[in-house]
Structure 1
Amino acid sequence: MLNIDAHFHQLFKPNQDNEKTALLANRLNPTNEQITTWLQSPQIKQWLTKLLMGIPNDLKVEAVNTIIKNVIRTPNKDCRVQFGSSTIGVDVLRWQLWASYRLPYASTVKSPDCPYTLKMHLDDETQKTA
């Protein structure tokens, strides 16, 4: 008979808490203008255009505009907008845009993170002004 610890799942919890604590300590506190310019940047638009989400690009842009309004209103709360089985959202702890969608004629769900984060955007802006 195996002797299994009923609290095995707690072995991994401290690492998750440490990661979240580190993210909170280093979390960016952007201005409304920084959030808006990041989410309306050409890099974000290009990334969204490449996604095969099954929704038109103008709806993707409208979803981002809705996210901007909601994140500016409550910057400490993640936000997501859903169109059918496709979702676009922002993780405000990491300041990263993400999407989730089902490929046409496939049973798998794709959920990529946008590689162009707010930190990258701010770094790019700093380099342009320097």
Structure 2
Amino acid sequence: MAGLRIRPIRTITTLRRAHHDQLTELLRSEAEHAEEHKDAQATASTKVSRPGGRAKVYSIRLSDDEVASLESAAIQAGVPASELARSWITEHLAEDGGATDLHAIAETLQTFSKRLAAL
């Protein structure tokens, strides 16, 4: 097999070690930077996530008009539409003492839908 060159294992190991060292240095540098700037203000492009927070996702059907109303109300409130919808639902559930039966939840979603339609 003319022209075929097989790399010795020690060369591959050396390359892996070099990448490992670079990655280790990058992680150390990032951790140091994060610690130095842990009180920095979030920018407009910062995305906030809530790991370990609410774990269940519900999908609800809304008409185009309801979605537009929700998005408009969210813009006016200065919050994401999903946050506004979640706050409306949780507020209503709190008013009902944390209702857990299916009828109460269905009524909550119906109330939510009516609020959107009224906007």
Q: TM-score range by the shorter chain?
A: under 0.3
Greater fraction helix: 2
Q: Greater CA radius of gyration, 1 or 2? A: 2
Counting strand residues as a fraction of each chain, which structure ranks higher? 1
TM-score calculated relative to the size of structure 1: 0.24
**TM-score, normalized by length of structure 2?**
0.26
